[in-house]
Copies of this chain bind each other. A is one copy, B any other.
Amino acid sequence: MRDLDPNGSPASFSCPSPVPNPEVIVLGHGSGGRLTAELVSKVFLPALSNPLLDRLNDSTELNVDASRIVFTTDSFVVNPLRFPGGDIGALAINGTVNDLAVAGGQPIGLSAAFILEEGFPIAELKAFAQSMRTAADRAGVAIIAADTKVVERGKADGLFITTSGIGVVAPGVELGAERIQVGDAVLVSGPVGDHGIAVMSAREGLEFQTAIVSDSAPLNGLVASMLETGGGLRCMRDPTRGGVATVINELAKSSGVEILIEETFVPARDGVRAACEILGLDPLYVACEGRLVAIVDSADADKLLAAMRRHPLGSDACCIGTVRRSGTPRVLLRTAFGTIRMLDLLSGSQLPRIC
C-alpha cells in the first residue's frame, strides 16, 4: 500500500507499528547446531560467563587440591523413551560417562535427577532405573546422588532425566582443542549415525531392511586404551547432537584450523546410509552415542588406531581427515566425486529430541 502513496511517504497514513515477532525458543535451539550456539553466545554466556564455562567444553576441568577432576551435565529428553539398542536410562548414563571420557576423565560418581509426569507408570520407571544400573555397571561407575520431581499431567512428556558426572583425570593427561596442530589426523571410532537413525525409526515407525540399532555405549574403556598408548592424542569429542560434522566444526573453531574430511573415508552402515537417503539426511550430522572423534598427532595415528581397534567399541576405527592449515577456521569435505565443499554447522535441527 505504501508504494501507492503519491507523496512516497509512509507517514501520510496511520499504521500501527508491526508487532515484532517475539523472540522465542524453537526446536532448533536444542539441535546442537547454529541456533544452539547462538543461544549459548547470546543468552547464557553474557549472564553466566566465567573462564571455565567460556571454554564451552562438554566437560569442565577443575582442581581439587592437587587432583584434577572433570564435571559435566546433560538433560535427556529422548522421544521415544525406548528405541532399538537402548532407552533413556542407558542413554543418560552413557552420555554423561562419554562427556567425562572424552575429556580424559574416568568417572567416579554420577547423579541422576528425574522429572516425572503425573500418570507415568511406575513399572516403566523401575525398568528405566534398572537400565541405568546396567549401563552404570558397564561403565564401572555408580549413581551416588539423585532427586525426583513430579509435575502435573500435560506439563512434561513422561520422563526427563538429567545426569551429571565427576571424573578424575590422571596426571600427565593433557587434552584440548588448543593442542591441535597442522598435520594432525582426524580419527573416528566407528560407523556414524546409528543412534540418530535408530531413534528416528522408532519414533516415526519406520522400518528398514536392516534393523538399525543405537550405538549407545560407555567410551571410558576405549579412551583408557587410547591413553595407555602414551601420546599423540590432542583432543577428543563425542559426536552426539549435530553429529561428527558439528563437533569437527567446533574443534576447527576452537583451535583456528582448517580441517579436511574425506567423505569416502567416513564409515557408516549401509542401513544408515539408506535411511539417510530416504529421509534427506547427511550421516555426518546424525548423532552417535557411543563413538568418539579424536584429533591425533599423525605420527601416532597408526598406534592409536591399532589400540582403538583392539577394543570392542573401536573395532571399526579409521582416519577420516587431516588438519590442513591454521588461519581461517573451517571444515571442508572432499566428496566422493573429488570436489571440495564446506561442511558447516546446520542452522536448525535435523532430528529433534534424539538424546
Task: Decide if A29 touches B166 in the complex (CB within 8 Å).
Answer: no
Task: Decide if B160 touches A115 in the complex (CB within 8 Å).
Answer: yes
Hey, which chain B residues are within 8 Å of A164, CB to CB? 71, 73, 111, 113, 145, 162, 164
Question: Within the complex, what minimum Cβ distance (angstroms) separates A49 from chain B?
Answer: 8
Determine whether A342 belongs to the interface, using a CB cutoff of 8 Å to chain B. Answer: no
Interface string of A127-157 (1 = CB under 8 A from B): 0011011001000001111111111101111
Cα A13 to Cα B12 in complex, Å, equals: 86
Interface centre among A115, A154, A352, by most chain B C-beta atoms within 10 angstroms, is: A115
A51-72: which residues lie under 8 A (CB-CB) from chain B? 52-53, 59-60, 62, 64-67, 69, 71-72
Cα A59 to Cα B164 in complex, Å, equals: 13
Question: Within the complex, what minimum Cβ distance (angstroms) separates A61 from chain B?
Answer: 9
**Interface majority SS on A: helix, strand, loop or mixed?**
mixed
Determine whether A121 belongs to the interface, using a CB cutoff of 8 Å to chain B. Answer: yes
Cα A129 to Cα B130 in complex, Å, equals: 34
Determine whether A19 belongs to the interface, using a CB cutoff of 8 Å to chain B. Answer: no
- Known contacts being A25-B125, A168-B64, is A148 close to B30, with CB within 8 Å? yes
Question: Within the complex, what minimum Cβ distance (angstroms) separates A54 from chain B?
Answer: 10
Cα A326 to Cα B50 in complex, Å, equals: 49
Cα A248 to Cα B103 in complex, Å, equals: 41
Task: Decide if B125 touches A48 in the complex (CB within 8 Å).
Answer: no
Instruction: Other than A50-B142, A73-B111, A166-B166, give 8 A-B pairs with Cβ distance below 8 A.
Output: A23-B123, A25-B150, A52-B142, A62-B108, A62-B144, A67-B67, A73-B162, A75-B162
Top 4 closest pairs, chain A to chain B, by CB? A30-B150, A47-B129, A164-B164, A73-B111
